[in-house]
Amino acid sequence: MAKSVVTLAHYYTTPEIQQMADKVGDSLELSLFARDAQADIIVFAGVRFMAETAKILNPNATVVLPDRGSTCSLVEQTDVAALKAWREAHPDHVHVSYINSSAQHKALSDWIVTSRNVDDIIAHLYAEGKKVIFSPDRNMGAYLNFQYGYDMPLWSAVCEVHDKFNQAALDEAFASVGGLPHALIAHPESPLPVLQQADYVGSTSGMLNWVKQYQGAANGVIFVATEDGILYNMKLARPELDIRQAPIYAGCQCNQCPYMKLNTIEAVKRAQQGEGIVIDYLSEADMDAARLPIERMLEFSSQYYR
């Protein structure tokens, strides 16, 4: 009997890849979809940590990543042995890790969060009187510390895409629209000076919803500080609006995630035949240890998002 296949795509993949997918979403939505998928094969047109999370949540499925190179700089910049030592140096803290992390990293965590639920989960932990350490995204952690007055010790990795957004290029972009009204929405992986100027900070889905519900000036310009893939979804939802990617230098709208863009049509088609990087290399011990903090997050989030 032919094997059943579902294809998942993150918003940062190209429009062509999104059109090949059964489900397009942010990290949280795709994790939930992968967990509940009934298919024999899950093709994950995203990056490796997303495919690993899918495998951890749905271990009976064959999870295929289309391209070997689809990593994430937050994963690459985190040495797991050093992370373990850092965690051990904070024995009285809860370790909250962003989902953009390896399975071994997740296994060293008490909670996993995505950009969709990080504010709520950390607020919940502080309300319980807990002390928190946050990894791996330094920018996201700095934003949370600033926004809510926390004092979380932070791991120091960054997203190489979002870290390029900067104040100077934004100032030029705002000036370039003359007297037109403008707004800025930003992903929390961006640097703090960018986030401090934003009208909205949130996940990819959160930003897309903000655009869908936008009621501001019809002649306004909306700058988006995140990877360019999601501008496709935003323009599809509100074709009448002037939506532009925030520049990283004067005049440039060119900030892409090289790892997401490895999901080419050919690679995804091959993956749908079961050819690609099969996520079959994680040890049972790592998968079991990583599943606990992910499931804690999903259980917490279910009251809000399902």
Question: What does the binding site for ligand 13P look like in residue numbers (CB under 6 A)?
Answer: 26-27, 100, 114-115, 159, 187, 189, 203-204
**260 is a contact residue toward ligand SF4 (CB under 6 A):** yes
Residue from 18, 73, 101, 109 binding ligand SF4 (CB under 6 A) = 73
Which one of residues 160, 199, 242, 295 is an interface residue with ligand SF4 (CB under 6 A)? 160
| Alpha carbons 71 and 68: distance in angstroms, whole number | 8
Of 92, 84, 158, the C-alpha closest to 125 is 92
Token pair 């296949």 in the structure block, residue: 5
Dist CA 281 CA 236 (whole Å):
38
Nearest distance from C-beta of residue 301 to ligand 13P, angstroms: 12
The item of ligand 13P, ligand SF4, none sharing an interface with residue 259, based on CB under 5 to 8 Å by kind, is ligand SF4
Q: Does an H or E element contain 62, and which?
A: strand 62-65
Helix (H, G, I), strand (E, B), or coil: what is residue 8? strand
Which of 21, 96, 144, 161 binds ligand SF4 (CB under 6 A)? It is: 161
Residue placing its CB nearer to ligand 13P in the complex, 269 or 296 = 296
Residue 240: CB minimum distance to ligand SF4, A: 28
The two structure tokens encoding residue 157:
């990795």
Q: Which residues contact 148 (CB under 8 A, 6 or more apart)?
A: 119, 122, 123, 126
Of the pair 26, 286, the CB lying nearest ligand 13P is at 26
CB atoms within 10 A of CB 123: 13
The answer to whether the beta carbons of residues 92 and 107 sit under 8 Å apart is no
246, 184 in Cβ contact below 8 A? yes
Minimum CB distance to ligand SF4, residue 259 (Å): 5
Q: Please list every residue from 96 through 125 that binds ligand SF4, using CB under 6 A.
A: 100
Smallest separation (angstroms) from ligand 13P to the CB of 210: 12
201 contact, one of ligand SF4, ligand 13P, none, CB 5-8 Å limit per kind: none
| Angle between the N-to-C axes of helices 229-237 and 204-212, in degrees from 0 to 180, rounded to the nearest 10 | 20
Q: Name the residue nearer to ligand 13P (CB basis): 13 or 114.
A: 114
The candidate with the shortest Cα–Cα distance to 49, out of 102, 85, 5, 8, is 102
Of the candidate spans 105-113, 205-213, 253-261, 279-287, the one that interacts with ligand SF4 by CB under 6 A turns out to be: 253-261
CB of 46 to ligand SF4, least distance (A): 8
| Cβ proximity to ligand SF4, 137 vs 286, nearer residue | 137
Q: What is the x/- site pattern for ligand SF4, positions 9-48, by CB under 6 A?
A: --------------------------------------x-
From residue 91, alpha-carbon distances to 78, 86, 95, 175, 227 in Å are 20, 9, 9, 49, 36
- Which residues of the shown chain bind ligand SF4 in the complex (CB under 6 A)? 47, 72-74, 100, 159-162, 189, 227, 257, 259-260
